[in-house]
Amino acid sequence: MKTRITELLGIEHPIFQAAMSWASSNSALVIAVSNAGGLGVLAAGPLRIEDFKRIVAEIQAGTKKPWGLNIPLNNPRAPELLDIAFQSRVPVMVASQGGPREHLARFRSIGAKWLHVVASVEHARKAEAAGVDALVVDGAEAGGHPPPSEVGTLVLVRRVVKAVKLPVVASGGIADGAGVAAMLALGAEAAQLGTRFIATPEAGVHENYKRAVLEAEVEGTALVGRGRHPIRQLKNAFSAKYDVAERAGSGDLDQLFNSSSLKQAALEGDVEWGKVEAGQSAGLVDDILPAAEVMKRLVAEVEFARNRLAVL
């Protein structure tokens, strides 16, 4: 299947494994997805500089195919991470949270493609004006940081596709090939899946986290931190406590928000009091499968969806 994104990046399938702090902050998941013809994306946000360098070298040794690197540009270590990415000649940047303009010329000079993650029409237009190569558009179903506007993927992706000329990668709520095909039908040129790839042996999170994703139903997530920089996570003791405090109009919501972390859930396995970031699509994920198997299944399911539409 050829789309503007597969052509731009030189990948076989229009499928991205989303950047996920801790879950995709290792080499194994990125290598497996890229070698299977998708785009594996390393989440650099939580990594120490030494670990980052080591993991980039592991990926370069593990795949000759294109792979992506996510650096949240508002991260205090972003300048140092960007320097290493540049020196390492990273093929694809998938940047989030911050302005891309000042970085583009430098990364173009090494032939890198720059994709930018946006969650609104306004930010899509701004990123296009800045000169990025493509957009990743996150809708409200997404795990991690969905749009504060809470506009869903179906509507936001369609709106952005009509608002910009750049190729769009749809993200948020997609867990199988039917979802990928739906996004292609909307006009997206690829789809990005995060939560689906948490349920793989390669994902770098605690077994409790993976099990919690399998057990979740589609109603099983909460948006925590409305009016701030909200996260979507699985409902647990922490989200329930936050919900009560929010409804009561409690004044110390910031303190409560910061009392729990993704790391607590991802590395320590505390799925009750940690932030178990995951999307609504957790309710569509029923099994832990090697990432290469997930890719194979996705490709077959996209084909099935295309054929189904063709005969209707």
Residues 92-151 that bind ligand FMN (CB under 6 A): 96, 117, 138, 141-144
Q: Is 45 in the site for ligand FMN (CB under 6 A)?
A: yes
Q: How far is the CB of 141 from ligand FMN (least distance, A)?
A: 5
Residues 263-292 that bind ligand FMN (CB under 6 A): 277-279, 281
Q: Which stretch binds ligand FMN (CB under 6 A): 2-10, 158-166, 193-201, 235-243?
A: 193-201
Site string for ligand FMN, 194-233 (x = CB under 6 A): xx--------------------------------------
**Could you identify the residue written with the tokens 């990025």?**
132
Tokens linked to 5? 């994104």
Site string for ligand FMN, 74-103 (x = CB under 6 A): ----------------------x-------
Q: Is 32 in the site for ligand FMN (CB under 6 A)?
A: no
How many residues lie near ligand FMN (CB under 6 A)?
Answer: 27
Q: How far is the CB of 312 from ligand FMN (least distance, A)?
A: 27
Name the residue nearer to ligand FMN (CB basis): 18 or 127.
18
Q: Which stretch binds ligand FMN (CB under 6 A): 125-133, 172-180, 217-225, 240-248?
A: 172-180
Instruction: Pick the binder of ligand FMN from 5, 20, 127, 216 (CB under 6 A).
Output: 20
Q: How far is the CB of 281 from ligand FMN (least distance, A)?
A: 4
The 3-class SS string of the chain reads: CCCHHHHHHCCCCCEEECCCCCCCCCHHHHHHHHHCCCECEEECCCCCHHHHHHHHHHHHHHCCCCCEEECECCCCCHHHHHHHHHHCCCCEEEEECCCCHHHHHHHHCCCCEEEEEECCHHHHHHHHHHCCCEEEEECCCCCECCCCCCCCHHHHHHHHHHHCCCCEEEECCCCCHHHHHHHHHHCCCEEEECHHHHCCCCCCCCHHHHHHHHHCCCCCEEEECCCCCCEEEECCHHHHHHHHHHHCCCCCHHHHHHCCCHHHHHCCCCCCCCCCECCHHHHHCCCCCCHHHHHHHHHHHHHHHHHHHHHC
Q: Which stretch binds ligand FMN (CB under 6 A): 14-22, 29-37, 289-297, 298-306?
A: 14-22
Q: What angle do CA 122, 127, 133 make, to 5 degrees?
A: 140
Measured in degrees and rounded to the nearest 5, phi and psi for residue 270 equal -85, 85
Name the residue nearer to ligand FMN (CB basis): 78 or 253.
78
Q: How far is the CB of 303 from ligand FMN (least distance, A)?
A: 21
Name the residue nearer to ligand FMN (CB basis): 19 or 92.
19
Residues of the shown chain interacting with ligand FMN in the complex, contacts defined by CB under 6 A? 18-21, 23, 43, 45, 70, 72, 96, 117, 138, 141-144, 171-174, 193-195, 277-279, 281
